Structure formats: C-alpha cells, structure tokens
Amino acid sequence: MTRAPAPFPLERLADIPERPEDFRLLERIPLTRKPQSWPLELSAVVGDEQPMVVLYYLVKVLYSPSAKRIVSIVDVISLYEDPGKPIPELITELTGITDDMVQRQRIDDALVASWLSDDPLVVAHNAQFDRPFFEKRFVTLGHLSWACSASGIDWKALGFESRKLEYLLLRLGWFYEGHRAATDCLAMAWLFHLLPESVANLLSEADRRTVLGKVRISP
C-alpha cells in the first residue's frame, strides 16, 4: 500500500522564523496543478526550437539549442488501452488505474503516429524499460531516436546522489504525486526547466550515440 503524505503541520509555522536553517519548504510542481492548459510557455526564446517528447504517457516540449533550455510545453495526452486481463492490484495502488478505466479502450495508432510525425527525440526516465514496450506496440515508430534521462545524464556531476525522479525534484524543493497519468512526464519536464544543463548533458549523450551508429537502448 502506498503511504499517504503527512498533513502540512500548520502548528509549526511559528517555529520557522526562529530557526529557518532547520526547515525546508516543498512546493507542488506548477505543471501538475489542475486545471492546466497547453501550450504553456516556459521561456521567451523564439526561432530554433526542436521537438522533444517525454514518455510515461506523452508530453511534447520544445527545446531551444541556442538558449540550451526547454522553452514551452506544447501538449499533453494520456492514452489507455485494455490489456485484455485484470489489472494487478499493485498496479492500481501505484497508478490509480482501474479495470473500469481501461475497459474497451484502444489507443489510436494514427493519433500517436501523427503526434510523433516531426520525429522528435523521445525521452524516458527509464528508456531501457519503456522503449522495448513502445516499439513492440507501435512497430511503425521504431525509427525514432531515444534518450534516457536516468542513465543519460551525469546526475552525480550535477550534485545529486540518486537519479530517481522524485528524489531529484525533492532536492530542488518540489513535489508531485507520481504514477498518475501524465504527472511523471510533467515532473520530468519541470526538472529539465529547473536544470537546463541536464538537458544539454542528455542531448550531447544522445548525439554521441547517434554518431556511433544509432545504438538502440535495449533491456
């Protein structure tokens, strides 16, 4: 069972001014607040944006090579597909997805192909796990370039002891409820926005792999 977060201790607010060094403030990632609409501009840069898709569900962002940062979130889609068998209880606890939510649902292949028609770089925080499933399900999209934001970024060099997404954001003062629809993707996009150097690191690694023979990430 997933542990619920502790309630905010309002009674402790008076203690903070007395010894602020003993407290840390966490704020919800703004991209995960509801309601939210897209596109959403994150940085005022125009002219050389390149598309990038962040996976766990689909979040499309635009990256500016000249500014070396994500400049906008273009769109977000969440798609369900009936697996043809009951969803394990553990998965429902983690994701909130129930059998009723996916019953008779089928992902529109044409919609996904259209969404990825500009050949973006596809980023997943565990591409070794996600990519084989994606390419098995969408066999016509095996040509897409992929990058892994967990292993493709030197998080230790950036000052982090772990590469887990939730940990990285907590260290920066932000939280989110993970494993919910597009929330993981939006959290990753926010992390890239906060640490533009991480995106540059990721893209240099992705470019190196492409030059060396378009190496595919596999389990």
Cis preceding linkage at 39, omega within 30: yes
Q: Please give the model's pTM, rounded to 2 decimal places.
A: 0.75
Q: How confident is the model at residue 161 (pLDDT cuts 50, 70, 90)?
A: very high
pLDDT beyond 70 at 2: no
Range name among 30-34, 100-104, 140-144, 190-194 with the lowest pLDDT average:
30-34
Tokens of 88: 């394990």
Q: Which fold has domain 26-81+107-211?
A: Nucleotidyltransferase; domain 5 (3.30.420)
Q: Can you give the residue ranges of every domain in the chain?
A: 26-81+107-211
Q: How confident is the model at residue 180 (pLDDT cuts 50, 70, 90)?
A: low
